[in-house]
Amino acid sequence: MMIPDRRDLFRSTVGRWLQQVVEKAELRVAPERYLRPPGSLPEMAFLTACTRCGECVRVCPPMAIRKAPADAGLQGGTPYIDPAIQACVVCPTMPCVTACPTDALTLPPGGWDGYRLAVVELVPERCVTFAGTPCRACVDICPVGERALAIDDTGHPSLKIEGCVGCGACVRGCITSPSSFTLRPLEG
């Protein structure tokens, strides 16, 4: 059995403590969890780097990117996506990222491959297919296609986390109210 030395113990303890301090500070500075555009830095770094210039808003082809309201504190004027209004359509070239004059939005090394905007989850109790009504609305609107979302052999949506980028198109495209899909921004 390996016993950690005092230095390792100190580092891990201080590391956990610092992480808790940052999380508490972030909740005070940025209490609302906005879905940020592709390539965004972690929230605190994003808020620091973003100049609120609006270039990403202007170049977004589906006009999915909006600006947070002025009364949103430090988050005011920063870009976000509300899939209930308009979801990201997973543009291959990420024009919002290339338009950003700072590093607030940075092109991921593999583009969309392995990149996630948010976490999407299926709520089967809300989905009409589980009540026997055929539906493909979510699958038909998914810009990623069957790598992310497909209808399985039983006629139900099958969300494939490894292929889903968390764009929110399924949330908006779902015919149920509330949507059979939930979306939450990534932590950090």
Four-residue CA torsion sign, 171, 175, 178, 180: negative
Rounded Cα distance, 104 and 50, in Å: 5
The pTM of the full predicted model, rounded to 2 decimals, is: 0.79
| CA distances from residue 119 to 66, 103, 105 in whole angstroms, order as listed | 20, 23, 19
The dotted CATH code for 35-114 is: 3.30.70
- Tell me the domain boundaries of the chain: 35-114, 118-185
Cβ-based burial of 107 (10 A; exposed 0-12, middle 13-18, buried ≥19): middle
Q: Do domains 35-114 and 118-185 have the same CATH topology?
A: yes
- Rg of the Cα atoms in the chain: 19
Average pLDDT estimate for 73-98: 95
Q: What is the pLDDT of residues 113-149, one digit of tens each?
A: 989 999 999 999 999 999 999 999 999 999 999 999 9
Architecture of domain 118-185: 2-Layer Sandwich (3.30)
The answer to whether the beta carbons of residues 133 and 140 sit under 8 Å apart is no
Dump pLDDT digits (tens) for 155-177. Answer: 999 999 999 999 999 999 999 99
- Compute φ and ψ for 47, nearest 5 degrees: -60, -35
Q: Are 78 and 68 within 8 A, CB to CB? A: yes
Note the pLDDT tens digit of each residue in 20-61: 655 555 555 555 789 999 999 999 899 999 999 999 999 999
Length of the chain measured in residues: 188
Taking 70 as the threshold, does the pLDDT of residue 103 lie above it? yes
